Structure 1
Amino acid sequence: MAKGKNNAGILAGLLAGAAAGVIVGMLYAPEEGKATRKKLKAKANDLKDLAKEKCGDVSERVKDQYSVFASQAKDTYGKVSDSVKEGFDKYKDQAAEKAKKVVKDIESELDSLK
């Protein structure tokens, strides 16, 4: 998880740095205000599109990792569930046998008291 957060932070930093660099470069360029504003708008749209694309890529990777994790969790749950059922059945049978023995012992003690 930390690796994904780190990559997202790096991506955000790169995009912010690129945007700042473009804006500063445009503002100091020797062009008319109208042309500069037009270029700034175009660059902002390019950066917005790039950010959407990268966000989509990250989203797809997260979905893929979620699918892998969910599959592993289901497998683990199935194994644990099966193990618990087996243990329950085993100890249930043992407890039933011991209970039958106790009942027989009590009955024989009661018969001997008669």
Structure 2
Amino acid sequence: MADNESNVSGLGWFLAGLGIGALAGVLYAPKSGKETREDLAASARDAREKANQYVDQGKEQVGQYAEKGREYYEKGRTQWSEYVDKGKDYLQEQQGKVAAAVDAGKQAFGKATENTGDQISEAGQQIQNS
């Protein structure tokens, strides 16, 4: 960002210096009007070429920054997608573990109630037999 500001500042100072130099050259040059106009036209052409160079450099830098931005966006999107996939896998794994624990609990409860029922029946028969 600071480089861009210094480039813009440098362009401003360059153009100001070019204008002052052209004006001083016109005022102090012992030339005819035609020669002076030709010199001014040449100076304007030079200034326009320099300005175009700065614009081209700016466009190139903007293009480079845009490309970097696209690269960072794609990298971030890819990483985000990987994290989401890992999260989904983890949730499915945990869901399977919970389901297995619930099934084990159901089986243990079933066996416990079955054993308790058998014990109650045996106790009832012992009471009847006594």
- TM-score with structure 1 length normalisation? 0.72
The residue number in structure 1 matching 2:10 is 10
Residue 39 of structure 1 aligns to which amino acid in structure 2? Answer: D
> How many angstroms apart in 1 are the aligned matches of 2:41 and 2:14?
19
Q: Please give the alpha-carbon distance, in whole angstroms, between the structure 2 residues aligned to 1:6 and 1:92.
A: 55
1:92 & 1:11 partners in 2: Cα distance? Answer: 60
Deviations 1:27-73 (A, max 9, x none): 23222223212211111011101211221122112212321232122
- Secondary structure of the 2:94 match is helix
| Distance (whole Å) between structure 1 residues aligned to residue 27 and residue 85 of structure 2 | 71
> Which amino acid in 2 is paired with 1:10?
G
Task: Give the match for residue 25 of structure 1.
Answer: 25
CA distance in 2, matches of 1:2, 1:15: 20
Structure 1, unpaired ranges of 5+:
none
Which is greater in Rg?
Answer: 2
For 2:96 and 2:23, locate their aligned partners in 1 and report how far apart those are by CA, in whole Å. 80
CA contact (8 A) 1:15 1:47 kept: yes
| TM score, norm. by length of structure 2 | 0.64
* 1:90-109 → structure 2 map (5 Å cutoff): 90-95=90-95, 97-98=97-98, 101=102
Over 6 Å off, 4+ runs: none
Distance, in Å, in 2 between the alignment partners of 1:99 and 1:22 is 86
- Residue identity over aligned pairs, in percent, reads 28
Partner of 1:79: 79
Cα distance in 2 for partners of 1:93, 1:20 equals 75
Looking at structure 2, the residues matched to 75 and 50 of structure 1 have their Cα atoms a distance apart, in angstroms, of 37
Aligned alpha-carbon RMSD (Å): 2.6
**Which 5+ residue runs of structure 2 have no aligned equivalent?**
114-130
Matched residues in 1 for 2:53 and 2:7: separation?
A: 15
Secondary structure of residue in 2 paired with 1:70: helix
The amino acid across from 2:54 in the alignment is K
Task: Verify the 8 A CA contact 1:27 1:36 in the aligned structure 2.
Answer: no
Shift of residue 99, structure 1, vs aligned partner: 6.3
Residues 30 and 94 of structure 1: CA distance in aligned 2, closer, same or farther (over 3 Å): same
